[in-house]
Structure 1
Amino acid sequence: MMKELWLLAGLAGLALSAPAHAGGNDTVPADAVAADVAEWRDWLFATHPQPGFSMDVDTVNAGFDAVIDGLEGDYTRREAWLALSPLNPLFNDGHVAIRLPQEAYEADLAHGSSAFTLPVRLADGRLTVAGTIAADSAIAPGETILAINGSDTRTLVAQALRRTHGDTPGLRAHLVETRFPQYLWALTGSAPSWTVTLEAPGGQRREVTLDPAVDRATTASSNWNLAFRDAAAILTLNTFAPTVETEFKAFIDQAFAEIAARGSEILIVDISANGGGAHMLSDHLLAYLTTQRHTPLSAVTARITEQNQALIPGSQIGDVMSMPFARWVEPPAELANRFTGRTAFLVGAGTYSQAIVLAATVQDFGIAPVAGPGTQGRANSTGQVQLHRLTHTGLEVAAPIYVFIRPSGDTSSAPVIPDIPLEGPRETQIDALIAHLREAATEAD
């Protein structure tokens, strides 16, 4: 029974998929938006199995009341999101949110609005040009972006952070950084072009109107990648999305065949930008790294829904049940191309959901050390995110029906703390991690 319960509990990642219905510029009055807020509150507390796991319930309820009291006039869907989304940080969970109206953003782009294409980095409220800027752009990495279409970027960033979901301020900053074009649109609306005020490290200032053909990131990030540095293999896995399970497993099979053919003695599994997905994919990966029996969790708290009621005899819809639970995985005793060298997992602010579960599993069972700055999400995670569309605004809200406890049984709200702490850019971390693993191998010999 519990195996089937786990299969229903694949952890959702951070991606905000587009709702099913288009938005548009129609408006709804304040009393209709207020009704949606009340609907959202009722649905959230009837869905989440343990709201106090991440949020202060009294603070959240006060926030709901304050939002309702502040509503006046008429609202488009984008404006309604701006009014309601200051509740997002109060939930302290990447799986609880009122979601950006992505379909309205895409509709604006389809009707001639310009996309903001400049890749950015965010630190201490300061927005800079990311190192991924295309080489043919006249804009240089590291330049500070002072203003966009005349709006001060520190103000824009502060407004975005006030409306972003996520476990911690660090995770919220990561989401604003990686989804900045959508947040910029939500805050300022559509624009035919974007002009940025830049400041070079030397203090020189200039204005540039973005050319989407050149002022862009070098390439779009791929789901997976395998690279080599001498005898070290770097396996980058940016998603465990169940929709690409077949392709993922084929890639992993081929990757470990190539790692074996190269005779690699060191393997870094980079999940620093992996927002999560389903355990079937990470289980397939772990089969190539260990023969050790392992479980990704030790206990679960579940809200009983129509989806899982039949799996728990005697339960009633709406009940909340907490129980010890382990989903033991038995890797095959023999597997071609299983890696037996030194392995480490690289995590970061972008590691979330099932990727955090994986990092906690390899750490708790000693399968491999975890390296990097650590995660910004908690090691204990919520899962199986439910979506609900609000009646009047058409906005979507999200909440989980499971809370999972890591294999060690630690019930704290701590993140995954790295065994090998590393800071700096990704490439610097990888170089340092390779050197660390080589030194450890030399000492072992």
Structure 2
Amino acid sequence: MRIVTRWLSIVIPVVMSISGHADQLNSSKLISTEQLKEDFQQLYAGLQLGSYDLYAHRSKAEFDSMFARGLTELDEPLTVFEAQKRFMKFAAHANIAHTRIDFPMADFMSFIDQGGKTLPLSFSIDDNEVRVDQYFGLSDKIKHGHQVLSVDGISVNDWLKPLRGYLSADNAQLRNELLEQMVAPLLWLDQGQKESYHLKLKDPISNNVFEIVQVTLTQDKQSQQTSESQTQTDSKPREYKVIDGAIGYLKPGPFYNVYATNEIETWDNTEFKTFIDDAFKHFIEANVSTIVIDITGNPGGTNSFSDLMLAWFADKPFRFASDFRIKVSALSRAANQARFPKSGSADDITTKLEDFYSRHQEGDVISFPLDNSLPNAKPHSIVDKNINVFVWIDRFSYSNAVSVAAIAQDYQFATVIGEKTSDLATTYGAMEHFKLTHTGIQVGYPKALIIRPNGEAQPDGVTPDVIIPNYQARLTREKRLKQVLAFLKSSRLEKQ
């Protein structure tokens, strides 16, 4: 597996949220100083107007100061690409994952296709400790697990600091997880192509500290190495199987159509429903006593998919949130109206949102009425089958995968196991977009506060009912599954 494959598998669903809004921009187009300032003013005004609470983590005074400074610094024409870099940092300053301008993936891929060279390694970042995760270079000295002490004579955390500024995240751990997948692309964004990097590394076994100059490499020169990392691309996006004759293993994969060829197909759940129904029927026929649902490393998606899975083991009606508070704005109404088809009928939620907006005033914060999702009736249910269901999460479970865990936990449909998620169950979400007039840059913002089913209003991740000790989130999925199954057996949580 080469490093660009890794970026595509992580960056597209997580950073771009499969939103369909990562439009191809004319990146080399030169924008006048006056137009840049108008777009920057539109950016800040739009974020204030549409966001549920732009100042949840940063004060208005901080933002006003950053805006004034940024406006002054727009003192010469810039390309769309350079403007996008500045505006990305401004949006990311909110420390809200859904307040963001997406990474210019099309430009980066063009750079790669044209023979661009990048740093041939990725990092794992835990707190302030940075290690080599995967290495794609040609040196036999750099190994998985080596601690990175400095780069180009700068302590590694100071070196990474400018890159963190581009990433929108609600907490430091989530930002680090995004960063470790994106170091090489963000280096290109921030600095352009460099010929080499001077690395100071430490071998954790021998404690030997050494320095090496690592040259950047084109994609075809980067080696296809493997490591213990879970970030290797899984062979199947979705999978189910029976283990040891008694344990059903289900990896539902992303909660969107992984086989879609366009944005409309992305939300077609036909394939997913067939897959889920086949999986649970197979488990019933195999007479399993335990089911492990693996949503680790899952980028999320939408509940129109995940509810189909939950309905198989839910024993009561359920909702993905106890409250869904929307801030009414002209921006959000316009974004919703854009989803109406030119002919035919709009989907149910689009129609309901239009009615909702029409009945409320600009700036109102109102709870949007949510319908219950219903459990399946027999024979499409395992509720009466005396099967233990475990939902397995970790720090790499994102977005709707976190919501699935919260529903399973709060309604007591299943036992949640693994490690705490970095992404949040109560969160600022329901993302919408608006476009800046002159640059064409798309800006994302959260129009709602989504409160998890148990009513906990404090934004936080999902803490498992059962935390697996010494869990290693970066091992391959196969090795982590062995660890989980061994733990279930040793702790007698698995039904015999």
Shorter chain as normaliser: what TM range?
0.7 to 0.9
Q: 1:103 aligns with which of 102, 106, 114?
A: 106
Cα shift at 1:349: 2.7
Please tell me whether residue 416 in structure 1 is matched to residue 462 in structure 2: yes
Please tell me whether residue 396 in structure 1 is matched to residue 442 in structure 2: yes
Cα shift at 1:356: 1.9
Cα shift at 1:270: 2.3
Please tell me whether residue 377 in structure 1 is matched to residue 434 in structure 2: no
Structure 1 letter corresponding to 2:362 = G
Q: 1:241 aligns with which of 256, 266, 280?
A: 256
The corresponding residue for 1:225 is: 239
Stretch deviating more after TM superposition (114-123 or 364-373): 114-123
CA distance in 1, matches of 2:408, 2:82: 44
Please tell me whether residue 175 in structure 1 is matched to residue 178 in structure 2: yes
Q: 1:425 aligns with which of 469, 472, 479?
A: 472
SS in 1 for 2:412: coil
Please tell me whether residue 327 in structure 1 is matched to residue 378 in structure 2: no
Q: 1:358 aligns with which of 377, 390, 404?
A: 404
Q: 1:49 to 1:67 in 2, by over 3 A?
A: same
Cα shift at 1:386: 1.6
Structure 2 letter corresponding to 1:159 = P
Check conservation: 2:55, 2:94, Cα contact below 8 A. Answer: no
CA distance in 2, matches of 1:353, 1:94: 10
Please tell me whether residue 286 in structure 1 is matched to residue 342 in structure 2: no
SS in 2 for 1:91: coil
CA distance in 2, matches of 1:353, 1:391: 30
Q: 1:49 to 1:124 in 2, by over 3 A?
A: closer
Check conservation: 1:309, 1:317, Cα contact below 8 A. Answer: no
The one-character-per-residue Cα deviations of 1:172-211 (angstroms, maximum 9, x if unpaired) are: 11111122332121122135x6667463333244445453
SS in 2 for 1:25: coil
CA distance in 2, matches of 1:65, 1:79: 18
Check conservation: 2:392, 2:418, Cα contact below 8 A. Answer: yes
CA distance in 1, matches of 2:211, 2:291: 44
Residue correspondences, number = 432
Structure 2 letter corresponding to 1:223 = P
RMSD over aligned Cα atoms: 3.5
Cα shift at 1:13: 6.3
Cα shift at 1:236: 3.0
Cα shift at 1:95: 0.9
Structure 2 letter corresponding to 1:381 = T
CA distance in 1, matches of 2:471, 2:493: 25
CA distance in 2, matches of 1:216, 1:65: 47
Cα shift at 1:399: 0.7
Check conservation: 2:91, 2:100, Cα contact below 8 A. Answer: yes
Q: 1:219 to 1:314 in 2, by over 3 A?
A: closer
CA distance in 2, matches of 1:272, 1:329: 24
Q: 1:441 to 1:287 in 2, by over 3 A?
A: farther
Structure 2 letter corresponding to 1:182 = P
Q: 1:415 to 1:312 in 2, by over 3 A?
A: same
Q: 1:149 to 1:92 in 2, by over 3 A?
A: closer
Check conservation: 1:301, 1:404, Cα contact below 8 A. Answer: yes
Check conservation: 2:312, 2:376, Cα contact below 8 A. Answer: no
CA distance in 1, matches of 2:132, 2:212: 14
The one-character-per-residue Cα deviations of 1:359-391 (angstroms, maximum 9, x if unpaired) are: 111111111122233122222123332222323
Stretch deviating more after TM superposition (139-148 or 381-390): 139-148
Unaligned segments of structure 1, at least 5 residues: 1-11
Cα shift at 1:148: 6.8
Cα shift at 1:334: 0.8
The one-character-per-residue Cα deviations of 1:68-115 (angstroms, maximum 9, x if unpaired) are: 234444433443344333334432321111222222222222322135
The one-character-per-residue Cα deviations of 1:380-417 (angstroms, maximum 9, x if unpaired) are: 12333222232334432101222221111221123222
Cα shift at 1:116: 4.8
Q: 1:311 aligns with which of 345, 355, 365?
A: 355
Q: 1:150 to 1:81 in 2, by over 3 A?
A: farther
Cα shift at 1:52: 4.7
SS in 1 for 2:186: helix
Please tell me whether residue 41 in structure 1 is matched to residue 44 in structure 2: yes
SS in 2 for 1:179: helix
Q: 1:125 to 1:367 in 2, by over 3 A?
A: same
The corresponding residue for 2:322 is: 298
What is the 5 A alignment of 1:80-91?
80-91=83-94
CA distance in 2, matches of 1:236, 1:309: 33
CA distance in 1, matches of 2:419, 2:242: 23
SS in 2 for 1:387: strand
Structure 2 letter corresponding to 1:232 = I
CA distance in 2, matches of 1:133, 1:227: 32
Larger relative contact order (Cα-Cα within 8 Å, sequence gap ≥ 6): 1
Q: 1:433 to 1:213 in 2, by over 3 A?
A: closer
Structure 2 letter corresponding to 1:123 = D
Q: 1:59 to 1:111 in 2, by over 3 A?
A: same
SS in 2 for 1:413: coil
Cα shift at 1:41: 1.0
What is the 5 A alignment of 1:104-183?
104-114=107-117, 116-130=119-133, 138=140, 139-145=142-148, 153-183=156-186
CA distance in 1, matches of 2:61, 2:250: 44
Check conservation: 2:241, 2:250, Cα contact below 8 A. Answer: yes
Structure 1 letter corresponding to 2:472 = P
Q: 1:66 to 1:330 in 2, by over 3 A?
A: same
SS in 1 for 2:325: strand
Q: 1:332 to 1:65 in 2, by over 3 A?
A: same
SS in 2 for 1:434: helix
SS in 2 for 1:388: strand
SS in 1 for 2:239: strand
CA distance in 2, matches of 1:196, 1:262: 56
Check conservation: 2:410, 2:453, Cα contact below 8 A. Answer: yes
Stretch deviating more after TM superposition (98-107 or 159-168): 98-107
Check conservation: 1:14, 1:95, Cα contact below 8 A. Answer: no
SS in 1 for 2:314: coil
CA distance in 1, matches of 2:189, 2:388: 45
CA distance in 1, matches of 2:159, 2:440: 25
Cα shift at 1:297: 1.3
Structure 1 letter corresponding to 2:233 = A
